[in-house]
Structure 1
Amino acid sequence: MAAWQQILALDARYNALRVPSDPGFRTLYIRRRSQLLREGVKEESEPTLRRQYLRQRAALLTQRYGVAPDQMSVRSRSVSTQSHSRQSHSRHHSDVELARRGMDSPAAPGRSATSPAAGLVPSARATASQAIVGGGSLDDNYAFAGFLHVFDQHQRAVTCVRFAHDERSLLAFGSLDGRVSVCDLDAEDKVKHLLTGHTDGVTGLEWSTSNDFLVSCSLDATARLWGAADGRCLRAVADPHHSPLACVVFHPINNNLVILGNKVGLVQVLNVSSGHYPAGGSSQLAASATALAAPPTGPLIWAGCQKGMVVSFRCDQGSGRLVKCRRVTVSDGAPVTCISARSWASREAADMSLLVNAACNSLMLFRVVDQEGGLQLRRRFNVRHSTHAIKSSFCPIMSFRQGACVVSGSEDCTVYLFDVERDLKPCVNRLQGHSAAVLDVCFNRDESLLATADAEGTVIVWKRQL
């Protein structure tokens, strides 16, 4: 087991004892702990030193909570029935621990991608998970109480909007006027920084895992790294082929690396620390790159192109080398404009899924069916989409509801929320307030706020009805 997983496993045993009256906080704590460990723990560390750290950490937690980890393990095992075999109980206990931590559980051997057991959401028995979001129907949970704020400082379309990771109020968005706004929705002066430097439209924007940095890409053929605290441009790197850039993501494990897609169809890895493009870190698509997705659980990265194809890659976190895995045509001839990747935090629904917008009036949900990134279409929703770069997103706490929702923009000026498990009338809610095509959408960590951006440069922050 990797070093960070061993440390996280120890912390997860005590998680039920942290703030017993606030399960939502416990979930956020363990997810943030996972992010920090994956980012900070070196796998090549001395095993003796790691064992020493684990012993000291266990002693501190035992002193704080008054129970030893081995006692907790015995207590957990005692709840199982005597009829289970030791092997099946061990697998079940491991899955429960993984689900509690918000991590992926490995699929059961022999489970097919179409098996009912591989459903997308927790079962009706998952009452503890549902309690995190307070119960209620999906229609009630996605009712909104109007606007929190409207931003209109950009003169051209806002192409990308992103809440910071595990943050409620920190928001950034980029515009075709070449500027990026960084906002704090809890502050009186909500616009903290207006980042200038790009000489053409901003097409992509992402936060680093720690929220210390932002990376943006632009039609001016440059990528820029910004300090989130002070808004300074720390590095600007030109595309080696002088091609406009269309999309960007941070490598999910090594934030020194970012992956870029350009208009000549290249997916390229950039080391933002050195400003260099590493050898072997590029791959050619069949057409212009249009979308990228890099899920935090890894190890695959997906790219979409102008011809309607989605290609999966493996990206080495050390060298930045790209290896092409699978190519799937999802919308023949219609551009893919957005890809989102997500795993459900449930042992009953551990499969990775992709949410794909294509300019054929479609929002599609795929299940990832193998380790190379093979896709199986699960659902298709009708969304007005033929000319603009429309984007969508998974709802952040979907893993803990009975039902699972996604949100998408549309060219009919409406924001749509769909329940992917509902066959009849899947649309949960429609939000109408924009006067132009809604290009991008993003929830904050607890889904209390939804930010939506349109083709006229307006960003609306919607307040969910609590």
Structure 2
Amino acid sequence: MANMEQNSLELHGDEEIIEVIDLNDTEDGPDNLADDLEDIDFEEAANADDKGWETEDEMELERDDSELTFSKHTGSVFCVSFDPATNNLAVTGGEDDKAYVWRVSDGEVVLECTGHKDSVTCAVFSHDSSLVASGDMSGLIKVWKVETKEEIWSFEVGDLEWLEWHPCAPVLLAGTDDGNVWMWKIPSGDCKTFQSCACQSTSGKVLPDGKRAVVGYEDGTVRFWDLKQGNSIHVIKGKDGHQGALTCLACNKDSSLVLTGSVDGCVKLINTATGKVVSMFSLDGSKAKDEEESNSVESVGFCNFLPLIAVAYLDGTLAIYDLSTQMLRHRCRHEAGLVHLQWEESSSLVSTCSLDGVLRQWDARSGKMVSEYRGHAAEILDFSINREATVAVTASGDNQAKVFFLQRPDR
């Protein structure tokens, strides 16, 4: 290495230039480098790096596809509903013991529902949007007249599990932790109760015909109630019922079929006229042996456009089943557990929200995702889509509700 003091050596054999560093050059040697390092403020350098570089999560949060963010809540937003008459208003309920009715177009508060003693987990409009009901976890239910912004009725029950309006009358139903189902005429407060064994009423729906209600219970039992007579029409339990608590229910448009979902990982299709289980759907093709081994069903729904149903599972699977063949048609994967699903009224698109804070739309015919909407910094706990399927409002654990304009492939 006779030429070590030469700073560089050029080799032109293959027209390459190779630079040979002089190892005797001590200009930037270890001693000098150590001296230089002593002068560096590492904390300041780290802060500078933080400003210049972002983690993947931080970069992801910069994407916000929403048109509007509603930020009045000071705690997690647990529930959201569109007003069915005009689709111009949304109501949200949250951990801050409040519900707000607000305009989707500009976020202006129309009505602040106060006076609750616990987190508001249920908030729904009546069929004509003239009334809104808000219910908190402790069981305090309030009804407000939207036009006059006045509270017109309130009642306190046991710990509240679900709350739903009748589809064509000012009648409100609620299910409680003690197993009772309550029904009131609003605002008179005329009351009827549907009593069962002391087992939590976990979910309930009024059938579209307005004459019957289906209720799911913690022990896996499903009951159909005659709302006028107050008696139980069908009881599905034991081997025909679920092996764990009911989590969700859905009815088809003509009230002939009901879907039930449970923590046992199974979905049952029930004929409402006979009370018979027509079919059972599960990802593994059989019942889970116990709840700890099961993949809980979180949401179910009928497609109005095709003979399909959708099932949202806690492991992040959206399953599309064919009602005609009773076979699994598509398995749509999510990175996080699913919370809720909703079909569009007149298409094959189904939307899902999940614990990763993303709203997604899927085409049930192909099983492909057609769009996704980001902007939340925490999980989405609920969402609602308007009748025209042009707008979605989401409720999230980041204390916000967001308005998204939905896109469709044929738009």
TM-score by length of 2: 0.60
Question: Quick check: 1:297 aligned with 2:254?
Answer: yes
Is the partner of 2:336 in helix, strand or coil?
coil
Residues 179 and 195, structure 1, Cα contact 8 Å, conserved in 2: yes
Question: Quick check: 1:460 aligned with 2:401?
Answer: yes
Instruction: In structure 1, give the amino acid aligned to 2:199.
Output: S
Question: Quick check: 1:226 aligned with 2:170?
Answer: no
Task: Tell me which of 190, 198, 205 is aligned to 2:163.
Answer: 205
Shift of residue 218 of structure 1?
2.1
1:211-262 Cα shifts (integer Å, max 9, x gaps): 43232212231112233x5283632333x21100111111232x23211110
Point out where structure 1 has 5 or more consecutive residues left out of the alignment.
1-141, 345-350
Residues 179 and 200, structure 2, Cα contact 8 Å, conserved in 1: yes
Residues 159 and 454, structure 1, Cα contact 8 Å, conserved in 2: no
Q: How does 1:117-196 map to 2 (within 5 A)?
A: 144-147=67-70, 151-152=93-94, 153=98, 159=121, 162=124, 172=133, 174-180=135-141, 187=147, 189=149, 195-196=154-155
Point out where structure 2 has 5 or more consecutive residues left out of the alignment.
1-64, 71-88, 99-115, 289-293
Write the distance in 1 (CA, Å) between the matches of 2:312 and 2:406: 27
Task: Tell me which of 282, 301, 307 is aligned to 2:236.
Answer: 282
Shift of residue 265 of structure 1?
0.9
Question: Quick check: 1:308 aligned with 2:265?
Answer: yes
Q: How does 1:406-417 map to 2 (within 5 A)?
A: 406-417=350-361
Q: How does 1:50-449 map to 2 (within 5 A)?
A: 144-147=67-70, 151-152=93-94, 153=98, 159=121, 162=124, 172=133, 174-180=135-141, 187=147, 189=149, 195-202=154-161, 204-227=162-185, 229-230=186-187, 232=189, 234-238=191-195, 240-253=196-209, 255-278=210-233, 280-283=234-237, 284-316=241-273, 321-330=274-283, 333-344=294-305, 351-370=306-325, 374-382=326-334, 384-385=336-337, 390-396=339-345, 398-399=346-347, 404-420=348-364, 426-432=370-376, 437-447=379-389
Residues 452 and 461, structure 1, Cα contact 8 Å, conserved in 2: yes
The match for 1:348 is: none
Instruction: In structure 1, give the amino acid aligned to 2:201.
Output: L
Write the distance in 1 (CA, Å) between the matches of 2:188 and 2:272: 29
Write the distance in 2 (CA, Å) between the matches of 1:156 and 1:405: 36
Residues 160 and 439, structure 1, Cα contact 8 Å, conserved in 2: no
Identify the range of structure 1 (192-201 vs 327-336) with the bigger mean alpha-carbon deviation: 192-201
Instruction: In structure 2, give the amino acid aligned to 1:176.
Output: M
Write the distance in 1 (CA, Å) between the matches of 2:360 and 2:143: 25
1:155-183 Cα shifts (integer Å, max 9, x gaps): 65555555555x67865554433244656
- Structure with more of its chain in helix, by fraction: 1
Write the distance in 2 (CA, Å) between the matches of 1:188 and 1:293: 33
Shift of residue 263 of structure 1?
0.6
Instruction: In structure 1, give the amino acid aligned to 2:386.
Output: N
Instruction: In structure 2, give the amino acid aligned to 1:362.
Output: T
Shift of residue 445 of structure 1?
2.4
Write the distance in 2 (CA, Å) between the matches of 1:462 and 1:193: 29
Write the distance in 2 (CA, Å) between the matches of 1:244 and 1:199: 10
Instruction: In structure 2, give the amino acid aligned to 1:291.
Output: C
Instruction: Go from structure 1 to structure 2 and tell me whether the alpha carbon gap of 1:459 and 1:226 turns closer, same or farther (over 3 Å shift).
Output: farther
Structure whose alpha-carbon radius of gyration is higher: 2
Residues 66 and 404, structure 2, Cα contact 8 Å, conserved in 1: no
1:171-212 Cα shifts (integer Å, max 9, x gaps): 555443324465677x473x756743221032x333323143
Write the distance in 2 (CA, Å) between the matches of 1:368 and 1:226: 36
Write the distance in 2 (CA, Å) between the matches of 1:233 and 1:291: 28
Write the distance in 2 (CA, Å) between the matches of 1:383 and 1:196: 41
Write the distance in 1 (CA, Å) between the matches of 2:119 and 2:333: 25
Shift of residue 293 of structure 1?
1.1
- Structure with more of its chain in strand, by fraction: 2
Shift of residue 449 of structure 1?
5.2
Write the distance in 2 (CA, Å) between the matches of 1:194 and 1:463: 33
Write the distance in 2 (CA, Å) between the matches of 1:395 and 1:206: 20
Instruction: Go from structure 1 to structure 2 and tell me whether the alpha carbon gap of 1:442 and 1:257 turns closer, same or farther (over 3 Å shift).
Output: same
1:109-136 Cα shifts (integer Å, max 9, x gaps): xxxxxxxxxxxxxxxxxxxxxxxxxxxx
Among the aligned pairs, what percent are the same residue? 17
Residues 420 and 426, structure 1, Cα contact 8 Å, conserved in 2: no
Is the partner of 2:232 in helix, strand or coil?
coil
1:307-335 Cα shifts (integer Å, max 9, x gaps): 1011111112xxxx511211222365111
